[in-house]
A and B are shown apart, each in its own frame.
Chain A
Amino acid sequence: MPTAAAQARYPLTQGVNPWLVTVSVMLPTFMEVLDTAIASVALPYIAGSLSASNSEATWVLTSYLVANAVILPASNWFARRFGRKRFLLICVTIFTVASFFCGAAPSLGIILLARVMQGAGGGALQPLSQSILLESFPVAKRSMAMAAYGLGIVVAPVLGPTLGGWLTDTFSWRYAFYINIPVGILAVFMISRFVHDPPYIKNAKVGPFDNLGFGLLIVWTGALQIVLDKGQEDDWFGAIWVRWAVAALILAFIGWIWRSWTNPKGLVDLHILKDRNFRTGCFMIAMLGMCIYITIAILPLYYQEVLGYTAFTAGLVVGPRGIGSFVGSPLIGFLGSRIDPRKLLCAGFLGFAVCSFIFGTVNLGIGPYTLLIPILLTGFALSFVFVPLATMSTSTISRDAMGNATGLFNMLRNIGGSIGIAMATTALIRRAALHQTEIGANLTPSTMALQQKSAPSLCI
């Protein structure tokens, strides 16, 4: 038990040094953010050893994102019902156990199942650790706590691809998941020792769980994801199951909206969308989620699949994005309160668009450093988007509606991301087929290129 002196010194954390609390909750959060990025460079390897195609391997990313998204709006209820500390412990445990199963997965089906579990366990980590941090520090030191949090969130994506690539190349992609196990065990130990629930959570009275709302949410997000991920393979509406799934998707979606509209005590209260700024923010975070996750998933895949890089080199090449956001974050903290956030947002998005256009100028002859500057700049631009977007969207939301608002907001980011990845992988397949036909249409036996190749003068 902490001594009375310690109690007096750190009343908010019941006698524990708040920095110990910070480390305890940042460990699993760091791990969770790291994990999204780690898997993205290992995709071709996962595909290879589970005898899956590349587009099937991206389900490893999308299934995680969807499970993550579904848990987000529910996490507040769980935290109040079971106690925040206990819920956090449960989440970390589920995440760690699921990581083991991801690593040990013998087939695509098992790894997807394990990823869904992992996503469900990891979804609540970010909001939980954020609220624990906010309550562990006195108001004057809160900005430091948020800086520590932001640092963790920003550094993890830098390390992710590089560490993941190194583990994949040196050992196996399986170790990119196994690495969570020791971290998870340490986190469970530290949380159970250092984190304590404040009294208001211990005495929280919670209403009944919105079973119907949660169920409908799972059905529509799940159906949407399955259709988008697997539709291309089975020729969309040509397959009977796609028609059924779309029917289920539409019905569940309408049901969910109706439920969330008429039941203000439910999981999500959609009345908050009446607020214009929040509505706009929701639209933009979904689009932003698409943009970010497409870049996270597709760029390493490009380097590995088209240019033949190893996982580690691909990780090194895309790593500078994290450095960009690392530099950008303190700058945005400084500028955020001085400049109209709309201008910052607009600049961030424009920067991101320019970078994406530069990505679109690549050819098969580029080197590892060709895209260095645009990759750095995307990270920089993204840090200009995240914080002002959250600030703008919630600027007109009242304090007590904040939990509901951030739950919905973060859920939309993840759903946008998984839709984006699914659409991008589909587009890759369809556009490649289209371009192949178009280029092939100009290849006749008398084409100069073919003549040159078949003539005995060709140099291979």
Chain B
Amino acid sequence: MSKCLPQLKIINRLHVLRAEHRITQEQLAKEVGVTRATIVAIERGGYNPSLELAFRLARYFQTDIKSIFSVEEENK
């Protein structure tokens, strides 16, 4: 891995969207075809989903990816 590139931190609003739509992690996991642990990991920022899963989440919330995931540059 290149050491020159700045570390990108991907932040998400998944828990906000989930609260707005009043659905549980379990329900969301079932809708997008993953386990609840994966939703937990995404919400806590421990796991960055694949592009496919990101699109599935966006499709479920009827929005675009950018309104769920955004990038913040980290200076390490």
A binds B: no
Residues of B within 8 A of A (CB): none
A residues at B contact (CB < 8 Å):
none
